[in-house]
Amino acid sequence: MGFARLTPTMATCPDPDAALMLRVKDGDFAAFEDLVNKYKQPVMNLVYRTLPDATEAEDLAQHVFLQVFKSAGRYEVSAKFSTWLFTIARNLCLNEIRRRSRHPADSLDEPASEEDDQPRRQPPDLKTFAPPESLLQGELEEKIEEAVASLPENQRTAILLCRGEEHSYEEIAEVLGVSVSATKSLIHRGRETLKQLLKPYLRTGAWKEKQAGNFD
């Protein structure tokens, strides 16, 4: 009590992206361009798996960055920039899901459920997942995409943000608006579902064939 909150300046900001965002707040378009270039792929990866149509996902992803720009005047360095960015992205995705559930005729896709623990779509028939002896890589990717898309939104988002170690569990929890333990629970449940859906491919070791062709 009685202590003024220290506001990080660009010089003292430990998060380089937050420093860029402070420059955007001052009207620096070059800084904004840097942020867009850095995060357009990760944002599209998240949005595309919520709105599988490429055009709609692109529109929404652009809207994410536009919202970031419009909010620049109110931006304060209270969290990591990427956490703030993905919170905006997720919220816009949820808004779109809710809009489609109210107006199902607007989208050719089946409307998504708003309830957290309900699957966005019914899990596809496992018989269709039986792999032929020679499975093309593209088909495997398609099956993985379908399985991920069938997850409830919060599980899918948790798994996608978790992959790659770019976000700590605390940051993912902040994006999802839940605790760290709830975040890990979401990831665990989502992965259990994916293991069931992709069991034939795990059993055949299709990923091992792909790995054998890589030099990593």
**8 vs 169, which CB is nearer to another protein?**
169
144 binds another protein per the rule CB under 8 A: yes
Residues between 171 and 210 that touch another protein (CB under 8 A): 184, 187, 191, 194-195, 198, 201-202, 205-208, 210
Place of tokens 């199902």: 104
If one asks whether residue 140 binds another protein (CB under 8 A), the answer comes out as yes
Which residue is it, tokens 């944002």? 43
Give the amino acid at 91.
Answer: N
Angle among Cα 41, 193, 184 to the nearest 5 degrees reads: 70
CB of 8 to another protein, least distance (A): 24
- Helices 180-197 & 169-176 angle (0-180, nearest 10): 90
**88, 177 in Cβ contact below 8 A?**
no
Exposure of 81 in the CB half-sphere (CA atoms within 13 A)? 25
Q: Which of residues 89-118 bind another protein (CB under 8 A)?
A: none
Q: Report the alpha-carbon distance of residue 35 to residue 177 in Å, rounded.
A: 24
Question: Which residues ranging from 13 to 42 are in contact with another protein (CB under 8 A)?
Answer: 27, 29, 32-33, 36-37, 40-41
CA distance 67 to 72: 9
Q: Does 149 bind another protein (CB under 8 A)?
A: no
Name which position in 163, 177, 179, 181 contacts another protein (CB under 8 A). 163
Compute the least distance from the CB of residue 122 to another protein, in Å: 21
Check residue 135 for interaction with another protein (CB under 8 A). Answer: no
Q: How many CB atoms lie within 10 A of CB 18?
A: 20
Taking the complex as a whole, the smallest distance from the CB of residue 37 to another protein amounts, in Å, to: 6
User: Which residues 57-86 are close enough to bind another protein by CB under 8 A?
Assistant: 57-58, 61-62, 65-66, 69-70
Euclidean distance between CA atoms 29 and 15, whole angstroms: 19
- Write down the least CB distance from residue 116 to another protein, Å: 19
How far apart (Å, rounded) are the C-alpha atoms in residues 129 and 76? 47
Give the DSSP H/E element, type plus range, for residue 40: helix 29-48
Between 44 and 77, whose beta carbon lies closer to another protein?
A: 44
Binding site for another protein (CB under 8 A): 27, 29, 32-33, 36-37, 40-41, 44-45, 47-49, 54, 57-58, 61-62, 65-66, 69-70, 137, 140-141, 144-145, 148, 159, 162-165, 184, 187, 191, 194-195, 198, 201-202, 205-208, 210-211
